């Protein structure tokens, strides 16, 4: 049995044991697949982790950079109190359209706002509007991760949690000679975390149905 088969089987085991059937999340994945959206959402177990972390934080205002089809947006919204809100940013208009439909079908259209456009153009607007967030999830194009971190810090409340996905890159993050702009973006992102006294962080490697990767978990001082 290959490692990948083992990882899949273990994920399936924990999903069966620990993740109740969620028709809204299942429907979102089905709609995304039917629309041809790349299957790069967080896995169900990772989505439940986001939910739990947001709930542990008692998050009220969540910022998500990278909506895709809205799967993780719905996971995060499920952790919020009734007055909570997720603001999620998506550059692809077609993906955003599907995400909005998935969000409406799940009944979270009042709690999740999808903003369409380049995040580096829309993030300044959030700052101008005076918005601050207590939980921030970064899961978009990796070359811009350093810039996303800078904006996350500008938009974070004291004590805010920041999660960044896909930081291990199948182990390539350790290759100092990598010419992959996604790897370089993650490396610069990690260097910023190391240098900035405003934030404390760690990184966790993961395996599962999404293969070998990992995420950064950070808290803003």
Given CATH 3.40.50.150, say whether it is the number of domain 3-220: yes
Rounded distance between C-alpha atoms, residue 57 and residue 140, angstroms: 22
pLDDT of residue 51: 98
Question: What are 52's two structure tokens?
Answer: 């739990």
Rounded distance between C-alpha atoms, residue 16 and residue 20, angstroms: 8
pLDDT of residue 3: 78
pLDDT of residue 4: 78
Q: What is the mean pLDDT of each run of 10 residues along the chain (221 residues)?
A: 83 95 93 93 96 98 97 97 97 97 96 98 98 98 98 97 97 96 98 97 95 97 94
Pick left, alpha or beta for residue 39 (phi over 0 → left; psi -120 to 50 → alpha; otherwise beta): beta
| Domain residue ranges of the chain, discontinuous segments joined by + | 3-220
Q: For the beta carbon of residue 172, count every other beta carbon within 10 angstroms.
A: 13
pTM assigned to the model: 0.96
Ranges of H-type helices in the chain = 3-18, 23-34, 44-57, 71-77, 93-106, 119-128, 145-155, 181-195
pLDDT of residue 175: 96
Q: How far is CA 128 from the centre of its chain?
A: 23
Q: For the beta carbon of residue 117, count every other beta carbon within 10 angstroms.
A: 14
- Closest of 126, 108, 28, 107 to residue 68, by C-alpha: 28
Residue 140 β-bridge partners: none
- Collapse the DSSP code of 123 into the 3-class scheme (helix H, G, I; strand E, B; otherwise coil) and give the result: helix
């Amino acid at each position: 049995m290959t490692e990948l088969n083992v990882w899949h089987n273990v994920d399936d085991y924990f999903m069966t044991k620990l993740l109740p059937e969620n028709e809204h999340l299942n429907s979102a994945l089905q709609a995304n697949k039917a629309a041809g959206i790349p299957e790069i959402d967080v896995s169900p177990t990772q989505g439940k982790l986001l939910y739990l972390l947001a709930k542990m934080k008692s998050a009220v205002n969540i910022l998500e950079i990278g909506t895709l089809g809205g799967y993780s947006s719905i996971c995060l919204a499920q952790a919020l109190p009734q007055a909570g809100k997720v603001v999620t940013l998506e550059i692809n208009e077609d993906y955003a359209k599907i995400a909005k439909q998935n969000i409406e079908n799940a009944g979270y259209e009042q709690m999740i706002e999808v903003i369409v456009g380049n995040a580096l153009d829309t993030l300044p607007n959030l700052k101008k509007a005076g918005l601050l967030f207590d939980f921030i999830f970064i899961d978009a194009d990796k070359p811009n991760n350093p810039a996303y971190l800078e904006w996350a810090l500008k938009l974070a409340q004291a004590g805010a949690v920041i999660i960044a996905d896909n930081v291990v890159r199948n182990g390539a993050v350790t290759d100092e000679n990598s010419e992959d702009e996604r790897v370089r973006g993650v490396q610069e992102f990690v260097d910023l975390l190391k240098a900035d006294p405003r934030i404390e962080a760690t990184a966790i490697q993961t395996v599962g149905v999404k293969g070998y990767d990992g995420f950064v978990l950070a808290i803003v001082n």
